[in-house]
Amino acid sequence: EDKVVQSPLSLVVHEGDTVTLNCSYEVTNFRSLLWYKQEKKAPTFLFMLTSSGIEKKSGRLSSILDKKELSSILNITATQTGDSAIYLCAAGGTSYGKLTFGQGTILTVHP
């Protein structure tokens, strides 16, 4: 059975701190690893990592895929209160339309 595990489950930091969120996966015929940010609404797409793109960066957010270790990290530098959210990691294989999600990491950034 496909499985995605995230750690830590929650994290409290202060503005300006740097955080690293972890994700490990076991997915049949793995193809891609995705990160989403969820506030009080639907998940918002952040990154998709594949064998042809194992590193992505957008502003203060960056992510790396380690296919050997079956894991990924999401880094957020110079955190802001607006970064407070649940960060979801999901893995997809060749199973049509199916992403397997982790439990999420609840990030709280205090001013």
Partner 1 sequence: KAGVTQTPRYLIKTRGQQVTLSCSPISGHRSVSWYQQTPGQGLQFLFEYFSETQRNKGNFPGRFSGRQFSNSRSEMNVSTLELGDSALYLCASSLQGAGLNPWGWKGNEQFFGPGTRLTVL
**111/107 Cα distance (integer angstroms):** 13
Tell whether residue 92 is a contact of partner 1 (CB under 8 A).
yes
- Contact segment (CB under 8 A) with partner 1 among 7-15, 16-24, 58-66, 95-103 equals 95-103
Candidates 11-19, 45-53, 64-72, 75-83: pick the segment binding partner 1 (CB under 8 A).
Answer: 45-53
Query: Quick one: which of 32, 72, 79, 105 contacts partner 1 (CB under 8 A)?
Result: 32
Residue 8: asked if its preceding bond is cis (omega within 30°), the reply is: yes
CA angle 70, 52, 48 (to 5 degrees): 65
